[in-house]
A = this chain, B = another copy of it.
Amino acid sequence: MAKIIKGKPVADKITEELSKEIEEIQKQGGQPKLATLRVGERGDDIAYERGATNRAKKVGIEVDSLVLPQHISQEDFIEELEKLNNDTSVNGILIFRPLPKQIDESVIKYIIAAEKDIDCFSPLNVGKMAEGDPTGFNPCTPTAVMEILDFYGVEVKGADAAVIGSSMVVGKPAGMLLLNQKATVTTAHSKTKDTAQVARNGEIVVVGVGVPKLVKEDWISEGAVVIDVGINVDEDGNMCGDVDFDNVQEKASMITPVPGGVGSVTTTILAKHVVKAYKQQNQ
């Protein structure tokens, strides 16, 4: 029976560390600040904004929440973004994605200041991640995965890791971060011949594909550590992951729940990145 490895204790520990750090910064007259940039009124964005804002405020980060009209032109959006880039009181910028169609993300990602880009939108930060350069900002979700593994004492170095999914949001960066920590990484995806076999070879299995309960017991080796990055809604309307939790729980040694797993750490990573950005900008 697997140990259920929740995100909350991980988030709590980081939160506590950040609070102390920010207290120190404030004593010296400083103040880390996050600016969020949302276009329109998508429910997902609003929920994420609320989570990120609450978490940031909780540790003592100031938050400016900018909301732009749904039909704003790309030009006007860029103007607003550049104001944030140039505002020296703003240390981190979080843009909610996907942006509406009239705004081309492949243009915007080059405009956000890389040193304020706390969720790895800029290709420069993607490059730093690939190189293992610690000055960059890795994307929050795969970083949360690594924090969970670290918190629960899972040895990554030399472990056989299976990453199921190769999206730019989860699978690819998770594979890079695991490889940077010297796991032996296999990445599987829609064109993989035998994804179940790839998963079975993993001592650490990270799943991020967006298919409810895809991963069953026979995909998991006895004693594997299973990290479920999926957030889906099942046929009964309940939130579930990409892993069939009840089924896999018997076989894994550790497993993250959904909800309450990876998702509950991501906004804390954002807050951590704002503080990192503050420190880099005020060295």
Chain B residues whose C-beta falls within 8 Å of the C-beta of A172 in the assembled complex: 130, 179
Chain B residues whose C-beta falls within 8 Å of the C-beta of A184 in the assembled complex: 186-189, 191-193, 198
Does chain B have a CB within 8 A of A222?
no
Contact residue among B124, B157, B198 (Cβ-Cβ distance under 8 Å from A124):
B124
A240 CB to closest chain B CB (Å) equals 26
Copies, count? 2
Binary flags per residue of A180-220, CB closer than 8 Å to B gives 1, else 0: 00111111111111000010000000000000000000000
A157 CB to closest chain B CB (Å) equals 6
Chain B residues whose C-beta falls within 8 Å of the C-beta of A122 in the assembled complex: 127
Chain B residues whose C-beta falls within 8 Å of the C-beta of A106 in the assembled complex: 133
Does chain B have a CB within 8 A of A158?
yes
> CA separation between A123 and B186, bound complex, in Å?
24
Does chain B have a CB within 8 A of A131?
yes
Does chain B have a CB within 8 A of A45?
no
Scoring A182, A185, A188 by chain B CB atoms within 10 A of each residue's CB, the highest score goes to: A185
Residue on B nearest A128 in the bound complex, by CB: B123
Chain B residues whose C-beta falls within 8 Å of the C-beta of A126 in the assembled complex: 126-128, 130-131
- Write the residues of chain A forming the contact surface with B, with a CB cutoff of 8 angstroms: 106, 122-131, 133, 157-158, 160, 166, 168, 172, 175-176, 179, 182-193, 198
